[in-house]
């Protein structure tokens, strides 16, 4: 990675963009999400079942990123808020205008509970040497996103592989 | 919903197929449910003219919810997801009939006594694999076991 700009090299391995979800984990989005995929799992619809199995109402694990997607507009915001900001930093910093995500791994730890105030940060794990694929020439990068509840317990971690490129 | 225990799971077992006729409402509802306001998931003109795709298309977070639903339809509510690895290959559009299929690739009980099934799941449209997903899901080892009760070192996803 010797030819990487220094400010990109300096990002690698650091916990960046710590943030707290804009609102607590809530049932409205849980019901709407389950409805959107016709998920009848009683864990998310029946409080007695959730209490019996998990100790109380929880969110579907795969909703983890939902709790951090910013409002489209919010008072006082002067620029667009972007999820996975490192991805966009790399596109801009490496002058790679196009990008795709090729791989996403999610690991689920403690359940996410209704009312949780979740926190997250991002870590740039690696940036590859230049590669040429059928899309164009660019670089692959791996970004981890780690998620915690208000008690500091890890609830999930995600790893994204992105490919930023210029069309040939 | 069925209650599945690990003794009912074996390598090579096929999960029941889930076919679903996708509409524009499926795509838009899924995007907004996952707070994904990017226009390619609700604006036909943006998707086709700007992105060059054939239509608006399903967003990845909602697709993850579809995979979760497919897996826990099979396990029942006691099934607890440990790990999912997605490979995104192609898009799903309105008027597609998407079909989820899954195969058990392995079964194990870890050192903490937790039962696990390793699954390969994919969603296809016609013969086109749109997204594939490797899944590690905890399944009760018997009727008294509950993977959701596991914490700390007893939960090894």
Q: Is B46 helix (H, G, I), strand (E, B) or coil?
A: helix
What tokens does B98 get? 């998407």
- Region A44-55: mean pLDDT is 97
B129 has a chain A CB within 8 A of its CB: no
Going along chain A from its start, the domains and CATH numbers come out as 6-166 (3.10.129.10)
A109·B148 Cβ contact <8 A:
no
C-alpha to C-alpha distance for B83 and B136, rounded to whole angstroms: 5
Q: Which CATH superfamily does the domain covering B6-154 fall into?
A: Hotdog Thioesterase (3.10.129.10)
Apex A22 CA angle, A18 and A27, nearest 5: 125
pLDDT tens for B88-108 read: 899 999 999 999 999 999 999
Summarize the confidence of residues B70-83 as an average pLDDT.
98
Q: How confident is the model at residue A1 (pLDDT cuts 50, 70, 90)?
A: low
pLDDT at A167: 78
Whether residues A109 and B77 touch (CB distance < 8 A) is answered with no
CA of B132: which chain A residue's CA is closest?
A: A103
CB–CB of A103/A161 below 8 Å?
Answer: yes
A32 touches chain B (CB under 8 A): yes
pLDDT surpasses 90 at A102: no
The reported pLDDT for the residue numbered A99 is 87
d(CA B53, CA B27): 14
Q: Is B27 helix (H, G, I), strand (E, B) or coil?
A: helix
C-alpha–C-alpha distance, residues A158 and B119, integer Å: 19
Nearest CA to B2 out of A24, A41, A3 is that of: A41
d(CA A53, CA B61): 25
3-state helix/strand/coil string of A49-75: HHHHHHCCCECCHHHHHHHHCCCCCCC
pLDDT band at A41 (very low <50, low <70, confident <90, very high): very high
Query: pLDDT tens digit string along A110-120?
Result: 999 999 999 99
Q: How many CB atoms lie within 10 A of CB B80?
A: 26
Query: Residue A106 pLDDT more than 60?
Result: yes
DSSP letter, residue B79: -
Residue A11 binned pLDDT confidence (cut-offs 50, 70, 90): very high
Q: Are A42 and B74 contacting, i.e. CB atoms less than 8 angstroms apart? A: no
**C-beta atoms of A41 and B88 within 8 A:** no
**Run of H or E including B143:** none
Question: Which pLDDT band holds residue A2 (cuts at 50, 70, 90)?
Answer: low
Q: Model's pTM, two decimal places?
A: 0.92
B30 contact residues in A (CB cutoff 8 A): 36-37
State whether residue B37 sits within 8 Å of chain A by CB.
yes
pLDDT digits (tens, 9 = 90+) for B25-38: 999 999 999 999 99
Counting DSSP H helices and E strands in chain B, the numbers are 3, 5
Q: Which of A33, A101, A108 shows the shortest C-beta gap to B34?
A: A33
- What Cα–Cα distance (Å) separates residue A17 from each residue in A47, A56, A65? 35, 31, 15
- Residues sharing a CB contact under 8 Å with residue B144, sequence separation 6 or more, in sequence order: none
Q: Return the percent helix, strand and coil in chain A, to nearest 5.
A: 25, 35, 40
Residue whose tokens read 């076919």: B19
The confidence band for A101, taking pLDDT boundaries of 50, 70 and 90, is confident
Q: A63 vs B34: CB contact, 8 Å cut-off?
A: yes
Nearest-Cα distance to chain B for A1, in Å, is: 25
Tokens of A85: 């900001």
Q: Is B130 within 8 Å of B98 (Cβ atoms)?
A: yes
């Amino acid at each position: 990675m010797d030819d990487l700009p220094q400010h990109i090299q300096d990002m690698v391995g650091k916990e960046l963009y710590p943030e707290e979800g804009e609102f607590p984990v809530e049932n409205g989005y849980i019901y709407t999400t389950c409805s959107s995929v016709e998920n009848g799992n009683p864990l998310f619809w029946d409080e007695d079942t959730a209490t019996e199995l998990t100790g109380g109402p929880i969110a579907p694990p795969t909703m983890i990123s939902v709790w951090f997607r910013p409002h489209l507009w919010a008072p006082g915001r002067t620029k667009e808020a972007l999820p996975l900001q490192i991805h966009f930093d790399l596109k801009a910093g490496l002058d790679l205008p196009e990008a795709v995500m090729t791989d996403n791994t999610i690991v689920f730890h403690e359940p996410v509970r209704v009312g949780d105030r979740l926190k997250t940060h991002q870590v740039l794990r690696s940036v590859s040497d230049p590669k040429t694929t059928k899309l164009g020439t660019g670089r692959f990068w791996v970004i981890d996103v780690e998620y915690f509840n208000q008690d500091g317990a890890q609830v999930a971690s995600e790893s994204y592989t992105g490919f930023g490129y210029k069309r040939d | 919903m069925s209650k599945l225990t690990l003794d009912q799971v074996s390598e090579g077992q096929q999960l029941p197929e889930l076919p679903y006729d996708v509409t524009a409402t499926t795509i838009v509802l899924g995007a907004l449910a996952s707070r994904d306001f990017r226009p390619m998931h609700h604006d036909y003109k943006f998707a086709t003219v700007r992105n060059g795709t054939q239509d608006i298309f399903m967003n990845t977070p909602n697709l993850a919810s579809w995979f979760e639903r497919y897996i826990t339809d099979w396990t029942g509510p006691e099934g607890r997801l440990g790990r999912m690895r997605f490979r995104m290959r192609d898009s799903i559009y309105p008027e597609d009939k998407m079909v989820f299929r899954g195969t058990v690739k392995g079964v194990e009980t870890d050192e903490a006594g937790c039962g696990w099934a390793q699954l390969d799941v994919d969603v296809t449209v016609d013969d086109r694999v749109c997204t594939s997903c490797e899944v590690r899901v905890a399944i009760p080892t018997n009727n008294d076991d509950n993977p959701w009760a596991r914490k700390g070192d007893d939960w090894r996803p």
